[in-house]
Amino acid sequence: MHATHRRAQRGFQMPYWLLAAILLAVLIMWNIVADQGYQTIFWALMRGVTTTIYVTVIAFTLAVILGLIMAVLRLSPIRLVRECATFYIEIVRGIPMLVLLFYIAFVGAPWFVDFFNTVTGPLQETGLMGEMTVRMFDFTWRAIIALTISYSAFLAEIFRAGIEAVDRGQVEAARALGLRRKHIFRFIIAPQALRLILPPLGNELVAMIKDSALVSALGVQDITQLGKVYSASTFKFFETYNVVAFLYLVMTISLTLVVRWFERMFDQSHRDTTN
């Protein structure tokens, strides 16, 4: 009873780091409200928030799907499939994010356009389909594809570790009871693996929000790119990058708190189930 009371008391205590972050946010918000220059910068950069969220949400969703596929392939009993998945994961993980971004944007995209035009050449000659050009391949989508490929390799390892962490005895018992493979994964492996992979999965999502700033190297109008353009034209580097950092911090810290809330919910649900 005393332990439960102590846990309840600790649940209401605000972490010092969060308190310091809130005070810093209040200070910057005060500057935005009170200073006309900060207000101008803030509204100029807010247009980039939509792009940052758009790129992050789509890229992370695709990376989760591709990463889960790669994790399943890496756990395949067929050696050739397993080796191909491992090759993809290790190669992608070894390439810096910025290098992969440039490679997809300036090598992969032109190659894909040439390949598409070659395959659809007969249709283009009959007039049923027009020729595709590199300019049709939007830089935003080039950035999304690069982020998807890069993060899928890291997520694949997270998924693999979570799946392998489930007690194999439970899987064998389920097989002995006659459960099908899809039911075993859905009702036994997936719930336990999800509880294990949720923290690193949330960390990867936070990391992707920050890495999405790299798309500014392609001229995509995200927060960083708009901040770079605005500061270069006004020479207000200090004020501009204060607002840039503030916008990223609001997104990342808010997401971190949401992920931790989900962790507590899963842990509480797990304790209720086991008890």
**Cα–Cα distance measured from residue 114 to residue 136, given in angstroms and rounded to the nearest whole number:** 13
Q: Mean pLDDT across the stretch 241-255? A: 91
- Topology of domain 19-274 in CATH is MetI-like fold (1.10.3720)
Residue 131 has pLDDT above 80, yes or no: no
Mean pLDDT of the chain: 85
pLDDT of residue 271: 65
Assigned token pair, 143: 């950035």
Nearest to 152 by CA among 219, 224, 104: 104
Domain ranges of the chain: 19-274
pLDDT of residue 275: 60
What's the burial of 79, exposed, middle or buried (CB within 10 Å: 0-12/13-18/19+)? Answer: exposed
**Confidence band, pLDDT 50/70/90 cuts, at residue 147:** very high
Residue 20 has pLDDT above 90, yes or no: no
pLDDT of residue 113: 85
Q: Mean pLDDT across the stretch 26-48? A: 86
Residue 128 has pLDDT above 90, yes or no: no
Question: Which pLDDT tens digit goes with each residue over 259-274?
Answer: 888 878 776 665 666 6
* Residues 222-237 as b or e (16 or more Cβ within 10 Å = b): bbbbbbbbbbeeeebe
pLDDT of residue 258: 86
- Within 129-178, residue ranges assigned H as helices are 139-165, 168-176
Contacts of 39 (CB under 8 A, 6+ apart): 32, 33
Q: Mean pLDDT across the stretch 195-202? A: 85
Residue 171 has pLDDT above 80, yes or no: no
Q: Is the CB of residue 49 less than 8 Å from the CB of residue 223?
A: yes
Output the pTM of the full model.
0.83
Residue 12 has pLDDT above 60, yes or no: no
Residue 250 has pLDDT above 60, yes or no: yes
